[in-house]
A and B are shown apart, each in its own frame.
Chain A
Amino acid sequence: MDSTTFFANLAAPGFDQLFVTLKALLVSAFPEVIQPLVSIVLSISAIIAVFGLLFAITTVVERKGLGRIQNRPGPNRVGLPWFHVGPLSHLNGFGQWLADGIKTLIKEDIVPRSADKVIHFLAPLSLVVPVLLAFSVLPFGRNMTPIELDAGLLFFFAVGAGTELSVFMAGWSSRNKYSLLGAMRALAQMLSYEIPLILSALTAVMLVGTLSLNDIVVAQEAKPGQWLANWHVFTPWGFAGFILFLIAATAESNRSPFDIPEGESEIIAGYYIEYSGFKFAIFFLGEYFGLFAMSGLAITLFLGGWTAPIAFLSFIPSWMWFFGKLFALIALFIWLRGTLPRVRMDQLMNFAWKFMLPLALINLVNVAVWHYTGGGMVSWVVCTLIIGIPYLLLGRTLFAGQKLGPRTYRYAS
């Protein structure tokens, strides 16, 4: 593109299309025949670079955040290189990801003698590759979806299903009883929570009428003349669906409070006991990438993707909104991890099948009622009752038979 359109796009609503124009500029510098290839390679490198950096920052922020929740400082020794400008700017602790990265790279890679070598090698790969594929359909900003697919949501869930095989491969190939047990539990948990995940995602699809993720985001933008955007989370069925989706996403990524498969005090490290060094780092990376992908999907379906909540604020670029919401959701997950205790395996399965599945099905009916009664005051009251009454009834009756003692609180002095 020529320089006038380039600068016009650059100045267009506040750097919104900055990355799109940069990429178009870079692609046009190559000959015609390999331009599609160059375009895809640029998208892939951008995704890996951005989310790799986000992964590194998240590990440090999580350890420091968990530390503060548990009344301790967290890592505060390793600082960033070249950052010692004055007495207060050491930023100690924020270089921990560099130290951890170097440590995992130089650790010895131990493979058990009786392990199944081919499957043991392929398991970490088959975790990371599907998760990276899942990033390619998320809309990161206006016109910034790496691959625009008509059936984008179906593609996302299909490659999510590919990660379950890797859990089994890791657990079985290690020839370790605890490893296999952890893998079976993790698989049962992932399969059970996949159903409420997909059902709660279907409510947004039913209302908008398309599986394409970019169209779902565009449908949540504020119409001209409205001051508040049409985010799905601002409706009763959307709020319930968002909460259900977040709980199911926490269980799908094996994060606390659903981290029985990798609970350190229970089963050591679950299905990746026998992995060390770089392969362990790849598993760790794959889990966090899965968390980012699920958060990205929650933002797209319920929180309005790259749209601003109030129409006045749309001068802030769209990709900045998306990543801001992503940071907020990651902070929410870290907060959940530090606050809630681990759930037992049978409690976990009961919760999925007897509580979340009926609520997700009732939510589907809810969104249909919302659509057919317009969207005004009456719809609000009716839909809140439709989802609220079963929630209260199920909550009271399912967990009624448990005898719980009085709570005691102990604080660190």
Chain B
Amino acid sequence: MDAIFAIIAALTVVSAAGAMFLRNLVHCALCLAVTFGGLALLYLKLGAQFVGFAQVLVYVGAVAILILFAILLTRSGQDDGHNLLSNKWWLGAGVAGAVFVTLAMCVQGSFVTGNRIPAAADPSVKAIGTALMSNYVLPLEVIALLLTAALIGAVIIAQKEKETGK
């Protein structure tokens, strides 16, 4: 395990924990943006340049700002008098702990992780573009339809309802 991976992993885990368990909502959202940045660094370390930059562009540049706008529009950061966690929070934490223990046991005991590591592939953007237009053209078109539907749907759901004059 080299040191750079350890540093980036520690940063990501700490900011993810902060994103989930801080009291102030805006701090949570900003910690989430740091987590996304840490994950982008991990993708760059693994050699997936395009995915790393797309992660920063989409997640940090759009999703984090969307979450911040929603926090401001619902003014949720201001009613902090109640409990932070719901009733029976220990049940949820227990389930999450069990999930982690199960996954860790699978990873440690698996034979896949002992295989020979192949040479690093260096996908150029041209290769990704060609793959998108030849092998993966159907998912590409479906994603286009999905994004259009999500865009229109989000606008309609969040609109104020027109008074129907009853």
- CB of B49 within 8 A of CB of A150, answer yes
Q: Which of B49, B61, B72 contacts A184 (CB 8 A)?
A: B72
Considering only residues 24-74 of chain B, those with a C-beta below 8 Å from chain A are 26-27, 30, 33, 49-50, 53-54, 56-57, 60-62, 64-65, 68-69, 72
Q: How far is the CA of A158 from the CA of B36 in the complex (A)?
A: 12
Q: How far is the CA of A150 from the CA of B27 in the complex (A)?
A: 35
Rounded to whole Å, the gap between the CB of B75 and the closest CB of chain A is: 12
Rounded to whole Å, the gap between the CB of A198 and the closest CB of chain B is: 9
**Given that A150-B49, A210-B125 are contacting pairs, would A165 and B54 also be in contact in the complex, using a CB cutoff of 8 Å?**
no
A149 contacts the other chain (CB 8 A): yes
A80 contacts the other chain (CB 8 A): no
Q: Which of B26, B30, B49, B64 contacts A151 (CB 8 A)?
A: B49
- CB of A165 within 8 A of CB of B64, answer yes
- CB of B56 within 8 A of CB of A149, answer no
- CB of B50 within 8 A of CB of A161, answer no
Rounded to whole Å, the gap between the CB of B130 and the closest CB of chain A is: 11
**Cβ-closest chain B residue relative to A198:** B57
- CB of A162 within 8 A of CB of B49, answer no
- CB of A168 within 8 A of CB of B53, answer no
Rounded to whole Å, the gap between the CB of A337 and the closest CB of chain B is: 27
Q: Which of A119, A150, A158, A187 contacts B65 (CB 8 A)?
A: A187
Q: How far is the CA of A296 from the CA of B4 in the complex (A)?
A: 33
- CB of B61 within 8 A of CB of A164, answer yes
Q: Is the interface of A mostly helix, strand, loop or mixed?
A: helix
B83 contacts the other chain (CB 8 A): no
- CB of B54 within 8 A of CB of A154, answer yes
**Given that A151-B125, A164-B61, A184-B72 are contacting pairs, would A158 and B53 also be in contact in the complex, using a CB cutoff of 8 Å?**
yes
Rounded to whole Å, the gap between the CB of A399 and the closest CB of chain B is: 24
Q: How far is the CA of A157 from the CA of B124 in the complex (A)?
A: 18
B166 contacts the other chain (CB 8 A): no
A155 contacts the other chain (CB 8 A): yes
- CB of B50 within 8 A of CB of A154, answer yes
**Cβ-closest chain B residue relative to A154:** B53
Q: Chain A interface residue count: which class?
A: 20 to 34
Residues in A whose Cβ lies below 8 Å from that of B124: 150
Residues in A whose Cβ lies below 8 Å from that of B69: 184, 187
- CB of A154 within 8 A of CB of B57, answer yes
Rounded to whole Å, the gap between the CB of A288 and the closest CB of chain B is: 21
Q: Is the interface of B mostly helix, strand, loop or mixed?
A: helix
Q: How far is the CA of A119 from the CA of B33 in the complex (A)?
A: 13
Considering only residues 212-232 of chain A, those with a C-beta below 8 Å from chain B are none
* Total interface residues in chain B, CB < 8 Å: 21
From A119, A151, A160, name the one whose CB has the most chain B CB atoms within 10 angstroms: A151
**Cβ-closest chain B residue relative to A168:** B68
Q: How far is the CA of A47 from the CA of B149 in the complex (A)?
A: 44
Considering only residues 148-174 of chain A, those with a C-beta below 8 Å from chain B are 149-151, 154-155, 157-162, 164-165, 168-169, 172
Instruction: Flag B119-130 by CB within 8 Å of A: 1 or 0 each.
Output: 000001110000
- CB of A211 within 8 A of CB of B125, answer yes
- CB of B61 within 8 A of CB of A161, answer yes
Q: How far is the CA of A327 from the CA of B84 in the complex (A)?
A: 55
- CB of B65 within 8 A of CB of A155, answer no
Residues in B whose Cβ lies below 8 Å from that of A154: 50, 53-54, 57, 125
Rounded to whole Å, the gap between the CB of B61 and the closest CB of chain A is: 2
Residues in B whose Cβ lies below 8 Å from that of A151: 49-50, 53, 125
**Given that A164-B65, A165-B64, A165-B65 are contacting pairs, would A158 and B57 also be in contact in the complex, using a CB cutoff of 8 Å?**
yes
**Cβ-closest chain B residue relative to A188:** B69
Rounded to whole Å, the gap between the CB of B67 and the closest CB of chain A is: 11
A191 contacts the other chain (CB 8 A): yes
Rounded to whole Å, the gap between the CB of A219 and the closest CB of chain B is: 14
Residues in B whose Cβ lies below 8 Å from that of A180: 72
Q: Which of B30, B56, B57 contacts A119 (CB 8 A)?
A: B30
Some 22 contacts from A to B, beta carbons below 8 A apart, are A119-B26, A150-B124, A151-B125, A154-B125, A155-B53, A158-B54, A158-B56, A158-B60, A158-B61, A160-B61, A161-B61, A162-B56, A162-B60, A164-B61, A164-B65, A165-B30, A165-B64, A169-B30, A172-B68, A180-B72, A209-B126, A210-B126
| A residues lining the B interface (CB < 8 Å) | 119, 149-151, 154-155, 157-162, 164-165, 168-169, 172, 180, 184, 187, 191, 209-211
Identify the 4 closest CB pairs spanning chains A and B, nearest first.
A161-B61, A158-B56, A158-B57, A158-B53
